Structure formats: C-alpha cells, structure tokens
Structure 1
Amino acid sequence: MAQTPASASTTASAPAGQVMAPASAGAVAADIPFVSADAANFQVPSAPDAWGGPRGDHPATLSDQVVGYTIQATLDPARHTVDAKQTMTWRNRSNQPVSKIYLHLYLNAFEGPGSTFFTERRLFSGSGHSRGNADLKKGEWGYIELNKVQQGGQNVSWRFVQPDGGPKTDRTVVELDLPQAVPAQGTLSLDIDFHDQLPRVVERTGWFGDFHLVGQWFPKIAVLELPGERGATAPRWNAHEFHFHSEFYADYGNYDVQLTVPKGYTVGAVGEQQGTPVESGGKVTHHFVQTDVEDFAWVAAPGYKVQRTSWTGPGSPKVDVQVIYPPEYEASAQPVLKATTDSLTYFSDTLGPYPYRTITAVVPPYNAGEAGGMEYPTFFTAEGYDKVTPDTLTQYAIDFVTIHEFGHGYFMGLLGSNEFEEPMLDEGMNQYWDDRMLVDRKQDIWVTTPLLSKLGFAPQLTPFEAERLSGVVGIGVPADSLDSNSWDRMSSNSYGSVYARTAATMRTLENLLGHEVMGKAMKLYYERWKFRHPDAADLRDALAEGSGQPELVHAIFASQVYGTDKVDASVVSIDNEEQVPRTGTVIRDGKRVTLSAKDVDKQIDDARAAWDKAHKDARHGGPYPWLSTITVRRTGAAVPRTVLVKFADDSSETVKWDDASRWKRISFTRPAKAVSATVDPDRKIVLDANSLNDSRTIKADGAASRRWSADVASFFQTFYALMGTL
C-alpha cells in the first residue's frame, strides 16, 4: 500500500461558507516527501544527536520544544460543539525552507463512513474484538472544520490529502500551502479559527449526555523528521491518516489553553490550572498551561465530583493528583486515586522521576465506557464500577487500567513513542512494565465470580500467565511482527496481540537476563531516550548495552520483534538402559573370550546378590550404572533454555541448552535411571506456545496437569475480561 506523495494528494472543495485562497505560486522550497505508508520494523538506531540530543532533568531542557499552541475554546454542551481560535507556532528544525505543512484533523475520522477509520473498521469487523464498534446515528457524527487559516494576515490555502493511500473521502490530514516559506531553522506562526462537532463517544473522544471528553480536537501539525531520526535519511513528513487501529505521534511543545464552559461544570485538563476560574455571563473560563508535552485533552461535565491528594518522590516536583468521577461511580474514586499514586512511585523509582506537577484521572459515566482507558500527558481516563471488592476481578481491572493509562504517560508521553508506526513501543512496552509492577506488588488475578467463589472455585494466576495465554497460546504462529505498524495488519486480533505478546517477549528476556539486570537496562533506555522519540532499534541497543548481553538481546529482537518465530520446545523421549554385561566376545588377560547367555546371566545374578547383601536398606541402585538418554526438540526460535532431569534416587541435574540446535540428546551415566525431564523448569520462557509438552516422565507425575490447570485458569481470566468489554 506504499504510495508516493504526488499520488496521495487530492484537492477538496472548500467547506460551506469558506472561500479557499489560491495556492502560492512562488514557492521555491522543494516539497518534502511523506514517510512510507507502510513504515514499520525499524532496525536502524537513531543518531546520537537525534531530536536535539540527550535531554537533561532541568525544566528548561526537558524537550527540544518544537511547537506551541495558544487556544481559546468555548464548549456548547447542548450542541456538543467547540468553537476555538488557535495560534500555532512551529520551528523548522531542518536545513531547508518549508513551503508546505501538514495538519492532522483527527475528528474527521468520525464525520462519515468514507473516512479511513470507518473504511478499515468495516474491513476488520469480525476479525477480533475491538473498541470503537458502536454505530453512530443522525446527530451523533463528529468532525472539525477550518474556518480561517492565516499566516501573517494572509489567507492560507489547503487541500485534503491521504498520505497512506486511503480513500479519497478521508479528510484527517490537510496540506497547507504557505504564502511565505518557513526558512531553515525559522519559525512559523499560524492563526486558525476552527469548529468542532464532537461525536457521540465511539472511540476515545466525544460526548454522552452532558459528559464531554474532548480529545484530538484541534488542528495539530505533523512531525517533520530529520536524517538520523527513526531511520530517516532525509527530511520527511510523518503525517499518517487516522486509522482504525492507530493512535498518535506529535512533537513536544507548550500549550496555553483557555476553556470556557457553562457555570456548574467540572473541568479537568492536561497541565496546571492557572489561578481561579473566571466567571462571566453564566459561563466560566478555566486556564491551563503545560510545557514539554505532545498533546492536550480535557473533560467537562456538570455534577461530577473530585477527590484529591498529593505525591512527592525523589527528583520530582510535588504532584497534585486528582480523580474526576460521576456520582454513580464514587466507589471507584479512591481505588483509582491510590493506583495513580502507587504508579507515580513505581514508575519514578524504576524508570525515572515524574517531571510534571499534575496528574488527572477521569472516570467516565455509565454508557460512555469507550471514553475510558485513554491516555494523554498528565491526563488519562480510567474505568468505573459501582462496587469495588478487594481480591476480585473488579479490583484487578480498576488497578490494571489505571496503572496502564498512567504508564502511557511514560512510554507514549515522556519517551514520545510513535504509536502510528510502532505500537509495540507504547502499548506493548507499557503493558510489560504494568505487569511487572503488578507482579512486584504481588497482585495476582483472581479468576472467579462471587458465585464461583462461594463454590470454592477461585484460582489465581499472575499477569504474565494471562499475557501468555492471550498473546502466545491464543494466537499460534503470529501473523505480523511485533514492530509492525498499527494499521497494516492481518486482523484486529493481530493488532491486539501487540499488548500481550510484547509483554511475554520482554518478560522472557527479563527472566533470561535477570530482574535487576533488565531493570538497569530499562533505566538506561529511559534516560537516553526520554523526550526523544526512539525507535525499536534504539530500545534494542539500550537493552543490549545495559544488560551486557548483546547477543541474547539481538537474538530475541530478531526472532520476536522483527520476526514472527514461534517459540516451543518439548521433551521427545526418555530412554534408560542398564549397563549390564552382554553376550559376545571380550578380551580377558589378553585372550578373546566368548560369553554365552548363560555366562552373562550368572554374572549378573551374582553381582546383584552381592550388591543387595551389601546394601540391605537401599531403595535405589544396583551393581550396574544406568545410561539415560533424554531427547529434546525445538520448534521455532532458538531461545536459551535449561533442561532439568530427575533420577530414581531423588538426585537431579540441570543442563543448559543455549545453542541453536533444533534437537539435542543429553546422556548421563549414573547409579539410578532418569525418571523425568523438563525443559524450562522455572517457567522463564513466557513465550512458550505449549506448556503441555515441556516435560515427560516414566511414572505418574502431576506437573503436566498443573501446567494444564494454569492454562485453563488463563482461559477463564480471558473469558471474564472479554465479558467485561461487551
């Protein structure tokens, strides 16, 4: 589906009431191409000076600030509209003039069935569960209109383009012809008046009743990537359409936003509120400012309550923490607040200090669940329950979603991952670190319901066991690599597997490297690439350097991040042979002697009788040793493993299997025979596709049934999680 910029452009008629200015005829700057429409699987590390080079910890050096947005917006809750004036400044980081820029108009994904979003939604329907499947009716669609765009008082012309070759009816990316080219290293300032018609909540953003979650609502400039950044060899525009399976990517910058809403509305937003809200004419204006972030979103709803606390940690400023929630979900407010402060502590300790002064969590109302589980800098949406009972799925779900959405503030926010092209770096790595936090705090999943609990059926499993089932066992051989982009995938399930399969891959790597070693390597990744938009190769190289085991890290990335290798190993057989005398000829005293069956039987009987007499209390053993041969086999990637062999005398031996062989025979000559063999006895390889073939025994052994039980428990967990999304 790759497409050149020339064939991607289409001219759109002006919106109703808008006279489009003629395109500039005197531009001398060469057009900058789009990044490939199928960009994915980044294996080239970024340059050391990419994105302004490594960042410091001082507020003045957090990010290489590229953009600035000053916005005055007014919400009309009856019509579900936002009217706004925006001044956008943008710094041209390249060494060439820029005469065309590209803006994302994300809300146009919801304007009608011809958008890329809805076209792909129809394609992917039936290929796995996905959010965003609600049907919109008349009066529930959403869109954004540009009413005026000016540069220095001159009108700017624009046209809609489809950089990824989507339908010509998609209007989520707009190309602007600038009357005055932005010189190399120069700054652009645009004045934009725009109008939003918010959709009913279908995915991420919109309204339900008088609740308004306003996300991806303003014209946002695309990212101009330079050579040495995420594999670029020349300047290119990263300006993808809004796909069904896609999120976002933007430059770091500063936001100064004034939000005017009716009196009585509770308002929360990205950043710090400035002073006391100003009331005038039955409306109230709230002023928010935040630096060094890539996005701005907000919520407004009447009658919503707020719970607040504060948090402090080494290297961080004092953080004001708040949860905004509807009265029907008051039971969720305190658990969300606690999970948020716990997350602040864990992520700050294990990755790096939280640098902002605020964090706001929003619990959407009943029937607006698709607004839940969404992330923005310093601001996210959680899930709501009218009852939260400890040690139940509701408790786990509310904790997990809160931790997950907070965690995006690091992997999407502070690291600036490109969620368009590398969802693994955000959704997947975040899922891994969330699970790690839950395991470290010893919070397992209770796979039960109140009824089953009364019946005494309340199994537990760890978060990574659940990830293994849904992301490894549940998909078989992956259809797409982990570092594939978000939209060019075989199915919704393939996109969804990014979460669990990345978590399973990284946990496997952690188990092989060691918990502390992996933690050290992840800290290096964060410190090196915070505020700098890394790619998968940057993650790979940081983990390789930080762990001191580059060969292992590169092998895992080759087979799992860039490849689709299945991971499985099995014990094929256990063969035991007692090393007793045999018939045939032997050399004794320099002469060849032939032993008959009668001779051998007598020799064996005499040896056994003598041994039994000398070892009356022995439970195992005999006069002759045993040759035990264990055959193991790999299917797919050559992930290092150990093989544990147990013997009849209760002794055991562990052998490393860390070469690339497809199969291996392991032999022992010992007093007792082998009775069982297990590959990966410590269950380090979370990526293992079939745990039932991991061991073999020559006598009854409950290990296989215990592994089977773990998979069944994982099934129930996945089942209940699915039921909760319906």
Structure 2
Amino acid sequence: MNAHSYRKPAIVLAALAAATLAVLALAQVQVIAIPEPYTDTGIPFAPAQAGAVAAPSAPDAWGGPRTGSEPTLSDRVVDYKIAATLDPDKHTVDGKQQLTWRNRSAHPVRTVYLHLYLNAFEHAGTTFFTEHRASGGGMFSRDPREGEWGHINLRSVTQGGAKVEQSFVQPDGGPASDRTVVRLDLPQPVQAGASTTLDIDFHSQLPRLLARSGYFGSFHLVAQWFPKIGVLELAGERGATRPRWNVHEYHAESEFYADFGSYDVKLTVPKDYTVGATGELQGAPVEKNGMLTHHYVQGDVHDFAWTADKRYAAPLMGSWSGAGSPPVSIKVLYMPEFAASAAPSLKAAQDALTYYSKTLGPYPYKTLTVVLPPHNASEAAGMEYPTFYTADSYATVDPKSRQEFELDLVNIHEFGHGYFYGILASNEFEEPMLDEGLNEYWNMRMARERGQLLHPAPRWLRAIGVSPGFDGFHFELGGAVRENPADPAGQNAYTRLQGIGPAYNRSATIFHDLEAQLGKQATEQAFKEYYQRWRFRHPSTADLRETLAQASGQRALVERVFAQQVYRTGKVDDRVQSISSEEVLPQPGSGIVNGKRVELTQDQVDKQIDDAREKWEKAHPDAKHGAGPYPYRTEVVVRRRGEAVPQTLLVRFADGSSETVKWDPQNGERWERFVWQKPVKAVSAELDPERKHLLDTNKLDDSRTVKADGSAARRWTFDLAALAQAILTLIATI
C-alpha cells in the first residue's frame, strides 16, 4: 500500500459512502445477491459495490490447486512483451507492447477491457481525484500543479494488423471524464480456450509523485505504467455465477487485481541511470547511442514495476536461501545520503524471507529488489510489486528509535505483500482485508516473535531516559475503530465511511484475537494450508474462511468471528460490572438448635461472632488477611454490550488461590452472575486475563478489585509529574 502502508491508514479517514455487502447469521453464511451490470457484449462487469465474498469458490477455480508438478507456477492467462524507453527530462515512457491473452471461458469473447491506470492523474475530474476531494482532500501531501499531471495514450491498438476500436467506460459509475478503463472491440472474436495477441503502441506521461507512481527530479518510480488487461472471472470464482469482467476504475484508496502471466520487458534509459525492476535481468545491459537497454523476464506474476535514477549509489547486494525456495539475489537501491538505511533494509528483507517462507510457504522467485526513495519522494515509499518494493529512507537510524522500528517494519510489511498481494493475488479493489489486513497481521506477528517494540518518544525525550515501548498489536489499536466501527473488515477499498485505515488496523486486530482463541499452532497450520491451497489462484474472503475453519478444526469459532467482524461490524465490549466478597455471618432471629427453637438477639450474635474470631485467630496466628472462621460469599457480575465472544473470568482470593470460569452464553444473555462461597475473601475479578480480545473497546473495565485501588491513578500522576519535571529541567539548561 502506498505511502507508509503500515502507518498512514491510521490517519487517513476518507469520507466515502458506506455499503455493506453481506449479512451473516452468527455461525451461518447468508449470501445476498448483488445485481451485475450487463455490458452490451452480454458479459457483465463485476458489481461496482462488490466486497467480501460469502460463497466459497469452486474446487476447480482458477484451474484448481497448484500441485507443483505443472510446467509453470501459475495457470498463466496473459503474456506481455514490452519494449519501453524512458525520457528522464520529460518523464515519459514510450512503449510498444504485445499483449497475448487467453480466453478461459467456454464462449467466444469479442470485447475486452484494459486498465489505463495513469489516466487517474490526467485531470482533477477523474474517479481518483473526485474521491480525494470527497475525503476532504487530505489523502496526499499536495495536489498536482500545472505541468505535473500524468496520463497514458494508446497511440494504436491492432489485432492481426486490423485496427481495434476503443471507447472509455466507467464500470463503477464514476465520472464520465474518468478514462482509467478502456473498452476494445476486437475485429476477430477470441474463441473459447484460444488466445489472441494485441499490438499496442502507447505513450505514458508520469505524474509528479503523488501516489504509487511518478517522478521527482531524476527519480522515477514507474508503476501502473502500461496497458493492463482486466480479469475475466468465471462461474465459481470469487462468488461469480457466470463469466464477468472484473475491471474497476482506479479509486483513490484501492489498489489492483490482475491475471497471472509472464513478462518480457526491455527498458531503455540513459546510460548514467541505474535501473531496478521486477524479475531477472537477462545478461548485461546493451549500450547504443548513449542509452542502455536492460532486459528483464519474470513469469508467474501479475504486474511489473521499475525504477530509474542517475543519483543511486552503487547497489547493496545480498542473498538469501531457504528450504523449498530457490536462491534469492537481493538488491537494495538507495541514495548516498540514505546509506544508513541500506544495510538495515537488506537485513530486514532477509529476515522477512526467512519468516514468511517458514510460516506460510516457500518464496518462489529468484530476485528481490528494495528501493529507498530520495528526499521529497516519500510518496513513493511503502509500495509493493512482484519481487520489487519500496521502503522508507532515513539519513540516520538510531537504535531503539521510532526510525529503527519504522524502517524495519516497512521493509517487512512491503516484502510480506509479495505473499498476500503477490503469490495469493487477492482482489485489492474488492477485498483489501485479504492483502492489507492479513499482511499487517502477519508482519506484526513477526515483530512480536522477534520481541520488537515501537519506541515512539522523540530523540530529546530518549536523551533524558524516557523511552517507553509497546508491541505492534497495541500500536494497531490506534486505528482499529473499536468503539464505533462503520465498515465491515471485508468491505471493499473505496466505499468505506471511515477510510481504508481499518482494513489494516482493525483487520490485524481481528486476526490477532482469532489466533488467541485458536492457538498459535492451529493458526499457523491453517495459514500454511491457505497458502498451499490458494497460491497463484486469487482466493476470496470465503475461501480464507473455509480454509481456516477446515484446517484449524474449529469451524464454529472461525465462522462466528467472520460473521461478527468480517461480514458485519461487530463491537466487542465486555466488562466486570461489580464484585463483592462478604463474610457469611450468623444473623439474629429464631431457629432450631438441638431440636429446640431458640432466638438470638443482635447482641448475642455479635458476641458469638467475636468469640469465634478470637478462637480462630489463636488457632491460626499466621493466617493471611481475608481469612477467618466464617466463609465468604463472593459475587461477580459481568455485562456484555457488544458481540458474543468466548470469555474467561479469573477471580483471585486473599490466600493466593483463584477461580477460573468460562463465560460464553449461547442464548444471547447480556449478563451473568457468578457466585463462590470459600473460606477466604476475594481480592479481584478480571475478564480476559490472557488478553485474547484486543478488539474490546475498553480493557480498563475488564477488571475490578474488592477494595478501591488508586495505585494506577497515582502511577500515572507520578509519571506525568516526573515527565514534566524532566522537561522543565531540560528547558532550564538550554
């Protein structure tokens, strides 16, 4: 995700119209039919408001599971051969492309659709900028100025030498001026199972860096730069009931979706420019007329991006190897002023390769390119493409600093997209949780297992010894929208009331809580099965749900979490309403003693109690406070003001003993009273003692003590006083 993908969503809250896709019963999926808009070719577009898919894909979807015995890693649908030349002064790319596409459907196809993503930046009336303004205009650091717009022109498109007619469409109902999707009416239909080749001459004007692609000075991040065909989904794939074109407009907060294929790309740039790109370089670059042509090839990917700059330092090279993966050559491209970030980025990439390949599955490619953008090009940071990603850049990296955490984590996060966005290749328009959410969750798991903490204090506070640290999952809570979530985790990227941020933060928290209930081993085994079953196949939310339910062996729990949090906006809010622990004492009145009715007055009862206490204390001189001759009746009341989640209640007693009970009412009860009668007084009651439910809106009301305890308030008061004193002392010394 563009621009510091693990941080930025916490502050990006785009105000777009909300649309909820599917409603599920507590543990039962109910599919809601969404009408598909038909094109005049008879093949519909995917619904404009599509989101989390509720119906699992067919077993043979996308050609069926990849066993490893096939000649290629993916069932390649498209083949791109591109020859492109960069003009670094005009920031343009002129390209000639042969696009070969295979019709997987059982019917002839005469109309196809291409994404022209750079046209999102051609003027302020595109879908991209319309949504940008609707969000309050705060998505980007600045809007384009005169001469900074970008576009892509199709100079010619032919099929077998015959001209192909073009027209622009808006499949999502965006402005008529949006030209990010083009319709091509072919002179010759593509028969079922057959392929066709389109010869395309195109010209791309890169925008000044704003989001995901563009230039600043001599730096060029060339992404979404070529005509890219949409995905023809078949019945049984991602909820489709018949063939449909999945070809959304370029939305401000969405990313991408494409078929797997092969790329053979020749990039011609001035000879003093250094190039990094998706895939494997084929031999040494070839020089001609002061230009170098770099030839890259990569199969079984669904996109191709590259960078070129004359200011790059000599690349930092490294390698990695792991079980089941080919040896990986790693290249880090950086500016001389950011040399301090290069080695940490290489190390983070190597560590991420180890962790992701161990916990999910082998990394199948032979290369990885890491790009650290220059000054004033931070909009290029935090973006992922196959075998290629961009990270942050720092001139200095202090140990245990926010910079160290961010540099490390953004490398890990962007590499991790190579799995969830790259190899699993989910639809980032419609189901961003499957990429942004799962990857955020997985890279925070990695940080947790490394014992890595975020230290948010600025350098001047660290200099005086104030450097608190907390783990990544608690960092996620800042953007998890626990109190009043408006959008299901499974909502699409571009019709969210609260913006794309919760697709990261809330989703990561949801899966943290699911893992806490499933257990680490069951969770990891289930995700390994997800990778094994769905790599190179474009899984849906329902496919993830089914895989986790089957592989973990805990279907009811998985389905409940998905019903509450993925397909709906479930608030979690359990609390300890009250706790009391009182001695069960004799009471005045009449009763039967030794077969006779007797009556005790209050004075007699008080004397009986005093005598019993005195006798007990003599017999138990070392007894702890809270024990005595009479038992204690402890009563704890818990309340539920949100979704039903399995809870644990822990009650501690004065003698160090405890009682643990499970609270998981099956009939919708909103409260419960638990009672114990023990020889000792209770001290406290706590819900969720293992912190399995970070999604709970308020963890402070999860526990209560019998006796009022002001230590927490005093601690915060003393900490704030100490901090204030330190600041005043520092000011006095300046």
SS at match of 1:623: strand
**Distance 1:505-1:703 versus aligned 2 partners, 3 A rule:** farther
Structure 1 residue identity aligned to 2:547: A
Q: Is the 8 A contact 1:691 1:707 kept in 2?
A: no
**2:541 paired with 1:536:** yes
Q: 1:201, CA displacement in angstroms?
A: 0.4
Q: 1:604, CA displacement in angstroms?
A: 2.0
Match of 1:358 among 353, 358, 367: 367
- Return 5+ residue gaps in structure 2 as ranges: 1-18, 20-33, 721-734
Match of 2:609 among 604, 607, 613: 604
**2:444 paired with 1:435:** yes
Name whichever of 268-277 and 700-709 sits farther off.
700-709
Tell me how large the CA RMSD over aligned residues is: 1.9
**2:652 paired with 1:649:** no
Structure 2 residue identity aligned to 1:341: Q
**Distance 1:702-1:255 versus aligned 2 partners, 3 A rule:** farther
The 5 Å alignment of 1:577-616 reads 577-616=582-621
- Counterpart for residue 480 of structure 1: 487
SS at match of 1:445: coil
**2:458 paired with 1:449:** yes
- In 2, distance between residues paired with 1:243 and 1:544? 33
- Counterpart for residue 658 of structure 1: 664
Name whichever of 148-157 and 631-640 sits farther off.
631-640
**2:514 paired with 1:505:** no
- Counterpart for residue 409 of structure 2: 400
Q: 1:675, CA displacement in angstroms?
A: 1.7
- Counterpart for residue 695 of structure 1: 703
- Counterpart for residue 31 of structure 2: none
- Counterpart for residue 568 of structure 1: 573
Q: 1:592, CA displacement in angstroms?
A: 4.0
Match of 1:121 among 129, 132, 138: 132
- Counterpart for residue 112 of structure 1: 123
**2:50 paired with 1:39:** yes
- In 2, distance between residues paired with 1:40 and 1:59? 32
Q: Is the 8 A contact 1:43 1:536 kept in 2?
A: yes
- Counterpart for residue 716 of structure 1: none
Q: Is the 8 A contact 2:391 2:410 kept in 1?
A: yes
Structure 1 residue identity aligned to 2:362: P
**2:685 paired with 1:677:** yes
**Distance 1:379-1:556 versus aligned 2 partners, 3 A rule:** same
Q: 1:586, CA displacement in angstroms?
A: 2.3
- Counterpart for residue 628 of structure 1: 634
- Counterpart for residue 423 of structure 1: 432
- Counterpart for residue 90 of structure 1: 101
Match of 2:470 among 456, 461, 469: 461
Q: 1:637, CA displacement in angstroms?
A: 1.3
**2:373 paired with 1:373:** no
**2:284 paired with 1:276:** yes
- Greater relative contact order (Cα < 8 A, sep 6+): 2
- In 1, distance between residues paired with 2:414 and 2:628? 63
Q: Tell me the alpha carbon deviations over residues 42-90 of structure 1, each in whole angstroms, 9 at most, x when there is no partner.
A: 1111111110100133572411100000000011111111110000011
The 5 Å alignment of 1:10-409 reads 30-57=41-68, 60-125=71-136, 130=139, 132-305=140-313, 306-409=315-418
- In 2, distance between residues paired with 1:134 and 1:699? 55
SS at match of 1:181: strand
Q: 1:483, CA displacement in angstroms?
A: 0.4
- In 2, distance between residues paired with 1:377 and 1:283? 26
Q: 1:619, CA displacement in angstroms?
A: 2.6
**Distance 1:582-1:618 versus aligned 2 partners, 3 A rule:** same
Name whichever of 268-277 and 651-660 sits farther off.
651-660
Structure 2 residue identity aligned to 1:259: L
- In 2, distance between residues paired with 1:133 and 1:191? 38
Q: Is the 8 A contact 2:579 2:634 kept in 1?
A: yes
- In 2, distance between residues paired with 1:707 and 1:691? 18
Q: 1:540, CA displacement in angstroms?
A: 1.1
Q: Is the 8 A contact 1:3 1:163 kept in 2?
A: no
Structure 2 residue identity aligned to 1:413: G
Q: Tell me the alpha carbon deviations over residues 642-683 of structure 1, each in whole angstroms, 9 at most, x when there is no partner.
A: 111111222222222233432111111011121211111121
Q: Is the 8 A contact 1:692 1:704 kept in 2?
A: no
**Distance 1:547-1:699 versus aligned 2 partners, 3 A rule:** same
Structure 2 residue identity aligned to 1:657: W
Q: Tell me the alpha carbon deviations over residues 309-364 of structure 1, each in whole angstroms, 9 at most, x when there is no partner.
A: 11110001111001011111111111111100111110000000100000001111
Structure 1 residue identity aligned to 2:533: R
Q: 1:3, CA displacement in angstroms?
A: 8.4
Q: 1:133, CA displacement in angstroms?
A: 4.2
Q: 1:517, CA displacement in angstroms?
A: 1.5
Q: Percent identity?
A: 57
Q: Is the 8 A contact 1:692 1:708 kept in 2?
A: no
- In 1, distance between residues paired with 2:517 and 2:714? 23
- Counterpart for residue 12 of structure 1: none
TM-score, normalising length from structure 2?
Answer: 0.90
Q: 1:491, CA displacement in angstroms?
A: 3.5
Q: 1:512, CA displacement in angstroms?
A: 1.2
- In 1, distance between residues paired with 2:586 and 2:380? 77
Structure 2 residue identity aligned to 1:482: A
Q: Is the 8 A contact 2:479 2:501 kept in 1?
A: no
Q: 1:290, CA displacement in angstroms?
A: 0.2
- In 2, distance between residues paired with 1:460 and 1:350? 26
Q: Is the 8 A contact 2:72 2:300 kept in 1?
A: no
Structure 2 residue identity aligned to 1:293: V
**Distance 1:644-1:60 versus aligned 2 partners, 3 A rule:** same
Q: Is the 8 A contact 2:211 2:379 kept in 1?
A: yes
Q: 1:427, CA displacement in angstroms?
A: 0.5
Q: Is the 8 A contact 2:624 2:654 kept in 1?
A: no
Name whichever of 577-586 and 631-640 sits farther off.
577-586
Q: 1:302, CA displacement in angstroms?
A: 0.7
- In 1, distance between residues paired with 2:536 and 2:711? 47
Name whichever of 609-618 and 501-510 sits farther off.
609-618
- In 2, distance between residues paired with 1:91 and 1:565? 42
Q: 1:591, CA displacement in angstroms?
A: 4.4
Structure 2 residue identity aligned to 1:649: D
Q: 1:704, CA displacement in angstroms?
A: 5.2
Q: Tell me the alpha carbon deviations over residues 144-170 of structure 1, each in whole angstroms, 9 at most, x when there is no partner.
A: 000110111110001000000000000
Structure 2 residue identity aligned to 1:225: E
- Return 5+ residue gaps in structure 1 as ranges: 10-29, 713-726
Q: 1:186, CA displacement in angstroms?
A: 1.2
TM-score, normalising length from structure 1?
Answer: 0.91
Q: Is the 8 A contact 2:36 2:46 kept in 1?
A: no
Structure 1 residue identity aligned to 2:459: P
SS at match of 1:448: coil
Q: Is the 8 A contact 2:218 2:311 kept in 1?
A: no
For this pair of structures, how many residues does the alignment match? 683
